[in-house]
Structure 1
Amino acid sequence: MDLLNELALTNIDPAMLAQVRALFEQQRAKLAENDFKIKALTFELAYYKRVRFGKASEALVGEQRMLFDETVDMDLAAIDEELHSQAPTKQARKRAGRQPLPPELPRIEHRHEPESCQCGQCGAGLVKIGEDVSEQLDVEPARFFVHRHIRPQYACRPCETVTAAPIPSAVIDGGLAAVGLLAWIAVCKYLDHLPLYRIEQIAARQGVPLARSTLGEWIGRIGVALQPLADRLAELLRERSCLHADETPVRQLDPGSGKTKHAYLWAYRSNALDDGPSVVVFDYRTSRAGAHARAFLQDWRGHLMVDDYAGYKAMFATGPTELACLAHIRRKFFDVHAASGSPVAEEALRRIAQLYAIEQQTKGMTSSQRLALREQHAIPALAEMHTWLLTTQRSVAAGSGTAKAIEHALKRWPALQRYASSGSLPIDNNPVENAIRPIAIGKKNWLFAGSERAGRRAAAIQSLFATAKLNGLDPARWLADTLEKLPTCPNSRIDSLLPFANSTQA
């Protein structure tokens, strides 16, 4: 305003002075508006960061937490972009350290030379002293192309015979789809959980007509071809001395009623502390009856890590040895503490955290080293916790959430503490829960299995894919390679096709 007052005292034209005043007021209003937006966005950004990294996010679990984090991360980026655009002076953003891009990816170089190789000040020739290199990750959507097979035919005139190269064996004889396309379709359906109609739409956008009925036919034939591999995977899994087991419900179409009915996908996983490749096998069944687990395990006699589901109980009387999951015990106390802030539940969580801290120290140890550490630290900690649970049980209200959590822990105690007396038994059932989680989330896309046969086929293919991922293989590349070799592979060498990183028997 001082500048305007000085202008008013000069001989400046009043009309021009009025225009200057109007422009000044307009700029001041715009600055005020921008200042308000910046303050509002700064406040919103602080709020979202507090929500994203604060206790509110910890109250969510599983898929809720995953979707929550994704949404908040997108909102944070959008607010930061808006805030940057409102800033009066554009400053370079502070970027977090980037992870290096995988060296095996192909590189396409783009060289950006100055417009002139002469100095703009004196005209002297420029000398290269170095170069700045930055990398961006790009992607090319599924690219369809055609393999054209040409088989020249040669005739012998004296013998009146014709000779040509034999047609290579294929999973689908005379089929239109090459192994790469079959692998892509299977990955889309069973790893990315895309229904066939969405795969049909993806292909149509690139001008490739792939009818859903054709896709369904290919998947059906792939399932039959891969079933022996899945069966062999189950045989090798039952040779292990310790397994994890869990199950998740799925819906199965019931054509007679026009509705869906309950079915279950049972999951079995090898012990991560074992030597040899990791193995996951899914078994599709029409119910949650414990007889299905007994049918899968057959006469197997080892240590089985499970939750407290009653369906497993009948096996433990005459068969496997039960292991209880510490994570399930913790979950009971966590729910009580989250609901009421119970100091008893808090103390239980602290003691459980101590056991996990001991287990964390065993990473990379041999079985004998792990056993020595568990005997020195875990067994005494478990004994102290057991005594504390018995003592505390007498002082809490019967029927309360805390009492039920304590009762559950004590009921499972013999099976819970069993791991500490060995150097090769797991502490919880998290490995198999992690293996089954992608399917539990993905079923929101495909909603239901069309039939029991479809469920068994999905279980077989997902077993192979999950095992490939656990062993550091690219499922699509493994499947394409396997589908190419499978037609000519004798049964005696079927283990060479299993999804293990070193292609050796488990």
Structure 2
Amino acid sequence: MQASVSPMPDDVQALKAALAAATLRADQIEVALLDAQARQSDDQALIAHLKLQIEKLKHQLFGSKSERSQRLLDQLELQLEELEAAASQDEAVAQIGARKVADAPGFERRRPSRQPFPEHLPRERRVIAAPCACPACGGTRLSRIGEDVTETLEVIPRQWKVIQTVREKVACRDCEKISQPPAPFHVVARGWAGPGLLAMMLFEKYGQHQPLNRQVERYGREGVPLSLSTLADHVGAAAAVLEPLHHRLAAHVMDAERLHGDDTTVPVLARGKTATGRIWTYVRDDRPFGGPAPPAALFYYSPNRAGEHPRQHLADWPGILQADAHGGYARLYEVGRQPAPITEAGCWSHARRAFFVLADIESSARRRADGKKPVPISPLAREIVQRMDRLFEIERAINGQSSQDRLTARQERSAPMVDELEALILKHRPGLSRHDDLAKAMDYMLKRWPVFTRFLQDGRVCLTNNAAERALRGIALGRKAWLFAGSDRGGQRAAFMYSLIVTAKLNDVDPQAWLADILARIADHPSHQLDELLPWNWAAQHQIRKSA
């Protein structure tokens, strides 16, 4: 039995009205879904907040001062931090979506009443003058009837102050219309944190690996008591505001002809245990072959290392990918891949490490001195490492030259060395057991020899994947500081912020100064000119403003 379908009207106006009604219903459904998601996130954050309060009270009354109990409180605080940030981000998205539907109120979270700022903080009054003429009728007979004061907590390095933005309110004696300048923009609705303070919180959390609970402790010692949930609230809202800029950054990275790819582990707080997630990075850096495009890094989070994740990240991208031999990339290189197969380029640093371990005399001597079993030194491994090092010397000499000049130098100088290295490996490999560490290192290269020699065919290819490893270095160094991500959602937010901060660093831009300026300007910045706020464009404009 076929379902009956209502006939469509033939009148153009009727069709337009039907389309408008359908669009309105779709917008209403979208607003309802965003509202429900925001409410769910808010409920989860409230539950986590109450759990933390209960555990703190139990700890005060009955708990010991053991490290285990303190770590439990730290875990609960981190979980609350991530849920508060997620709830605030969902609230901001729901309010943005509510603007599509007339009279849609938009979801607003339940927040405790804010306490006044400490009296000892200095106040700086910035008065927004009232208009000289009535905006409603043009009359000039205005009388001052009062003012509204909006207090914004701002920070100057090692100095706190409260900025009082005074909006004068006037009434027109001719038409009795009351007028007042608009309130200043805040990332969080009715928020109080200035862009400088927000930038500092974001950079210290994601750039300096200082969790919000440690920031709260430090701010308290400086005489400014702030709650963890309040800071997390602002972090989530800031992520929602910066999302359009992140989209432009991702588009720039995915416009590259060649990318560096890599991933690293991220501990993630899970129910009753700590799971292991992954942070993936894709770095665009055309500087080695003289490309004019500025460098940038894009990060993604995934709960595991399955191959589906890089396939999703690079679904529409064709180009050259420099990465390790992780099997998850394999399907990207298949001939039938759409829109086109990705060209694989190997990393000689990865290959060199296995040989270097077998040729490191100093490391073996240290192990022997410490009473550990020394690693046998292989003269053949040492010779292979020395041959590779000569290839690296050539690369350092041609770094920054055009791709054609690099290719010419490689074909003249590097190609004969690579052929000799291959002949050396092929000569000695049959005499080694397949279980031998040196044989495994040789097989790693021989099985992928066309991939490792790709740099001899294309001047854009680098000899190593070090650009991606450098981008991940901060995460690897910071893991011991922040211990773990609070959730998968927190891992995604961390990858989001790493993209912005690492890209700023790649362009020699102070991430905190850049974020502070962007957060202050992005609300009034035209959406079609967002590229002006990307770090490399921002730096050029900032230099012009400083010179003026």
Q: TM-score, normalised by structure 1?
A: 0.69
Aligned to 1:263: 277
Partner of 2:395: 359
Residues of 2 paired with 1:451 and 1:464: CA distance?
20
Which stretches of structure 1, 4 residues or longer, exceed 6 Å deviation after superposition? none
Picking from 426, 441, 447, the partner of 1:390 is 426
Q: Tell me which amino acid in the other structure corresponds to 1:326.
A: W
Tell me, yes or no, if structure 1 residue 186 matches structure 2 residue 209. no
CA distance in 2, matches of 1:448, 1:190: 12
Residue of structure 1 in register with 2:501 after alignment: 465
Q: Which residue of 1 aligns with 2:442?
A: 406
Aligned to 1:277: 294
Q: Is the partner of 2:305 in helix, strand or coil?
A: coil
Aligned equivalent of 1:309, options 323, 326, 345? 326
CA distance in 2, matches of 1:418, 1:314: 19
Alignment partners' CA distance in 2, 1:344 and 1:311? 32
Contact 1:247–1:264 (CA under 8 A) maintained in structure 2? yes
Give identity over the alignment, percent.
Answer: 38
Structure 2 equivalent of residue 299 of structure 1? 316
Q: Is the 8 A contact 1:294 1:315 kept in 2?
A: yes
- The answer to whether the 8 Å contact 1:495/1:503 transfers is no
Residues 222-233 of structure 1 mapped to structure 2, 5 A cutoff: 222-233=238-249
Letter in 1 for 2:212: L
Cα distance in structure 2, aligned partners of 1:420 and 1:146: 60
Is the 1:271–1:425 contact (alpha carbons within 8 Å) kept by the matching residues of 2? no
Q: Is the Cα contact below 8 Å between 2:355 and 2:384 reproduced in 1?
A: yes
Identify the residue that residue 382 of structure 2 maps to in structure 1.
Answer: 346
1:14 match: none
Q: CA deviation at 1:363?
A: 2.4
Provide the C-alpha distance between the structure 2 equivalents of 1:258 and 1:499, rounded to a whole number of angstroms.
Answer: 41
1:244–1:432 contact (8 Å) kept in structure 2: yes
Tell me, yes or no, if the aligned pair for 2:347 and 2:452 is still in contact at 8 Å. Answer: yes
How far apart, in 1, do the equivalents of 2:168 and 2:526 lie? 29
Equivalent-residue separation in structure 1 for 2:437 and 2:400 (angstroms): 38
CA RMSD of aligned residues (A): 1.6
Which residue in 2 is equivalent to 1:18? Answer: none
Q: Which residue in the other structure is 1:370 paired with?
A: 406
Aligned residues: 363
Indicate the SS of the match to 1:283. strand
Contact 2:346 2:451 in 1 (8 A): yes
Q: For the structure 1 residues 177 and 389, does the alpha-carbon distance in structure 2 shift closer, same or farther, using more than 3 Å as the test? A: same
Deviations 1:217-257 (A, max 9, x none): 01111111112222222222111110011111112222xx3
Aligned partners of 2:285 and 2:157: how far apart in 1? Answer: 37
- Displacement of 1:396 in angstroms is 3.2
1:209 maps to a residue whose letter is P
| Superposed counterparts of 1:201-280, under 5 Å | 201-254=217-270, 257-272=271-286, 273=288, 274-280=291-297
**Within-5 A mapping of 1:439-454:** 439-454=475-490
CA–CA distance in structure 2, aligned partners of residues 393 and 360 of structure 1: 30
- Counterpart amino acid of 1:216? A
Q: Distance in 1 between matches of 2:419 and 2:285?
A: 25
CA distance in 2, matches of 1:395, 1:441: 41
Amino acid at match of 1:146: V
Q: Deviations over 1:448-487 (max 9, x none)?
A: 1112211111111110000000001000010011101111
Within a 5 Å distance, the mapping from 1:107-256 to structure 2 comes to: 142-254=158-270
CA drift of 1:502 comes to 5.6
Given that 2:509 and 2:539 are in contact with CA atoms closer than 8 Å, whether structure 1 keeps it comes out as: no
Distance 1:289 1:387 in 2: 36
| Residue 330 (1) aligns with residue 352 (2) | yes
Q: Which runs of 5+ in 2 are unaligned?
A: 1-155, 361-374, 541-548
Greater fraction strand: 2
For 1:427, what is the secondary structure of its paired residue? coil
Alpha-carbon displacement from aligned partner over 1:269-309 (angstroms, at most 9, x marks no partner): 01343331101011011110111001011121111011111
Q: For residue 451 of structure 1, what is the amino acid of its counterpart?
A: S
Computing the radius of gyration from Cα coordinates, the structure with the larger value is 1
Q: Which one of 491, 513, 524 corresponds to residue 455 of structure 1?
A: 491
Tell me how far apart the structure 2 counterparts of residues 268 and 291 of structure 1 sit (CA, whole Å): 16
Corresponding residue SS for 1:265: strand
SS at match of 1:334: helix
Cα separation, partners in 2 of 1:296 and 1:145, compared to 1, 3 Å: same
Query: Does the Cα contact within 8 Å between 2:249 and 2:296 map onto a contact in 1?
Result: yes
Give the Cα separation in 2 of the matches to 1:484 and 1:372: 49
Corresponding position of 1:321? 343
Question: Residues of 2 paired with 1:326 and 1:390: CA distance?
Answer: 18
Give the secondary structure class of the aligned counterpart of 2:261. strand
Structure 1 residue 493 corresponds to structure 2 residue 535: no
